[in-house]
Amino acid sequence: MQETNIENKQAEVKIDRDAYNKKSFYIFIIFNLITVISLVYYSYNVSKILVLKDTDDKLLAGAYGVTFALGKDFHDKIENASSVSAEEHYENVISLSEVAGKCGADYVYTLMKASDEVVFTSLSVTKEEFEKKNIDKFFTVYKKPSDLVLSSFGSNTVYFEEFEDEYGYFRSVIVPMKTKNNKEYIAGADIAMAGIDRRLDSILMSFIIAGAVIFLTTSAAFVFLSKRI
């Protein structure tokens, strides 16, 4: 009879311990999952800030690089579509395309207002566009400028925006400029959002994989240690 009672008590202790371990396991899994998700979320957002900072630095380098490539007095002479010859415009395209390549931008350019329109006074092209000779002419009208571009002429503030126009969907910098003769123009640079998104997606995937490895490893370690107690 006494042996039966001891066996019953041992069985009850085992059941209680199993129930405790099971409850502890569920609590740990939930806590571990929340911790890993929070870590992935935080790490991704910090990385996103750094990626955008790196992107904006490239954009600024491209926009300011345009002014050095063209010279300070370039826009002083511009009055109409005949102010710059086709030969000079072509040379500027070559020069600005080199600037864009060195800075990591997809496009760099300058804009001016002509009557009620915004026109390109200089621009770069991609390698593919150059090979296909798909080069916009000097004074080409910018058909879909953003409201921010339109309002930036005469401003002293540098702006960044994400905007879709006839050329694509880009993150852009808008740098208002003035010549010695107070002619207003904008130096700009674009980087395609598709490239930025691919970079961010790659970072997110790496964090998700790392998070999954951490979650599975710590969960397995918890189960192993629980069985040894």
pLDDT confidence of residue 20:
54
Q: Print the domain residue range for 52.
A: 1-229
pLDDT at 28: 84
Residues in the chain: 229
CA angle (57 as vertex; 51, 61 as ends), nearest 5? 150
Beta strands in the chain (DSSP E): 107-114, 117-123, 140-141, 159-165, 168-178, 184-192
Of 167, 212, 219, residue with least CA distance to 189: 167
* pLDDT given at position 87: 96
User: How do the pLDDT tens digits run along the chain, 229 residues long?
Assistant: 545 555 445 444 444 555 556 777 788 889 989 999 999 999 999 999 999 999 999 999 999 999 999 988 899 999 999 999 999 999 999 999 999 999 999 999 999 999 889 999 999 999 999 999 999 999 999 999 999 999 999 899 999 999 999 999 999 999 999 999 999 999 999 999 999 999 999 999 999 999 999 999 998 887 777 666 5
For residues 143-182, one letter each, b for 16 or more C-beta atoms within 10 angstroms of the residue's C-beta and e for the rest, the string is eebbeebeebbeeeebbeeebeeebeebbbbbbbbeeeee
CATH number of the domain that residue 174 is part of: 3.30.450.20
Cα Rg of the chain, angstroms = 30
Q: Say what the pLDDT of residue 222 is.
A: 77
Task: State the pLDDT at residue 80.
Answer: 95
Q: What is the pLDDT of residue 25?
A: 78
Number of folded domains that form the chain: 1
Residue 79: its pLDDT value, please? 94
Say if residues 51 and 200 touch (Cβ distance below 8 Å).
Answer: yes
